[in-house]
Amino acid sequence: FSNLIDLDSYSPDEWNMIVELAQQIQKNPALYRSRCSGKIMGTLFYEPSTRTQMSFQTAMLRLGGTIIGFDNPSTSSVSKGENIKDTTKIVSSYADILVMRNPYEGSAKAAALTADCPVINAGDGGHLHPTQTLTDMLTLKNEKGRLDHLKIGLCGDLRYGRTVHSQLKALSRYEGNEFILISTPELALPSYIKDVLNARGCTYKEIYSLDEAITGESLDMLYMTRIQKERFSSEEEYNRQKDVFRLDTEKMKKAPKDMIVMHPLPRVDEIAMDVDDDPRAMYFTQAKNGMFVRMALIISVLEGRLGAPKLLTGTIK
Ligand code: CP
């Protein structure tokens, strides 16, 4: 069946299909309220979540389905030592679709190998977060009208930020997108993602100043990210990185008039609260979009619209 572990298993046409369905649902959600009647979604969240978990759950409930699962492994038999494969095997025999978040890279893929129903990766450690990228794509499509020929700045924790990795892997497959990577040297994008960008002949530049990116790069979108405290090996290392980049109203005054600001959230203090009143701040809209895109994804997976996952070979783009 059509697992969603990495968006690269599908084509931009298939991603566009999900985004377009999400736009239709957004316009008339009532049309879809019985679409998944009788279906059950299992949510296995081994890591904390507000948006991803609740938007998936709300999406399924709004489609007429029901939900089971845990949001804290300590309340499940994981606390007795049960491994991911066994838990997945069991819960997938109760549910029609599984959504899993786990701190280990590759965990969703491992789960999919034993599951008896489709598995959706809701974030595997510092690796990937494909449904956040679909959310980001819906937001870009709604606000900028396109997913290509965009100049995108990504700022903050590019090393551990799974939302950044997934977004770069996806948006690098559309024509004409350029990326400005804004981080400290310690939190630079991992080489395995740079290899993907290089293989696709993608234009990107690494810079160390948010001011420079905002004033000098004519960005269409700035993607701010949280420094991922939970991925650091020491508190000292985190403390050295945590306050380096902060978007405030002074910086927004210098930014392009049509540069939207996105953030997967949660934020700590990398965006000042008063930026929320700027009409270019899209992060709350983006979080709401997550529910519509997940409704579209659930329908697409359960109705087999995505087909079987494909392995990419040869030239990609
Ligand atoms: N964007 C995102 O993944 O948020 P949560 O951690 O709250 O799910």
Q: To test ligand 1's pocket by mutation, which of 43, 47, 51 has the most ligand atoms within 8 angstroms of CB?
A: 51
Lowest pLDDT segment from 66-70, 243-247, 310-314: 310-314
Give percent above pLDDT 90 in the chain. Answer: 92
What band does 308 get if pLDDT is binned at 50, 70 and 90?
confident
Instruction: Of 120, 95, 101, give the one whose Cα is nearest residue 294.
Output: 120
Ligand 1 mean position to 298 CA, how many Å? 18
Ligand 1 mean position to 160 CA, how many Å? 14
DSSP state of 183: -
Cβ(200)–Cβ(316) below 8 Å: yes
Ligand 1 atom 3 nearest Cα: 52
Ligand 1 mean position to 315 CA, how many Å? 32
- Per-residue model confidence (pLDDT) at position 312: 54
Please determine, for residue 314, whether its predicted confidence score (pLDDT) is greater than 50: no
Read off φ and ψ for residue 280, nearest 5 degrees: -80, -10
- How many Cα atoms sit within 13 Å of 190 on the Cβ side? 13
Distances from the Cα of 105 to the Cα of 6, 30, 122, 168, 300, angstroms: 12, 37, 12, 17, 25
- Per-residue model confidence (pLDDT) at position 287: 98
**Mean per-residue pLDDT of the chain:** 95
Q: List pLDDT tens digits, range 189-223.
A: 999 999 999 999 999 999 999 999 999 999 999 99
Q: What angle do CA 274, 141, 150 make, to 5 degrees?
A: 80
Looking from the CA of residue 54, the nearest atom of ligand 1 is 8
Residues that are catalytic: 51-52, 80, 101, 129
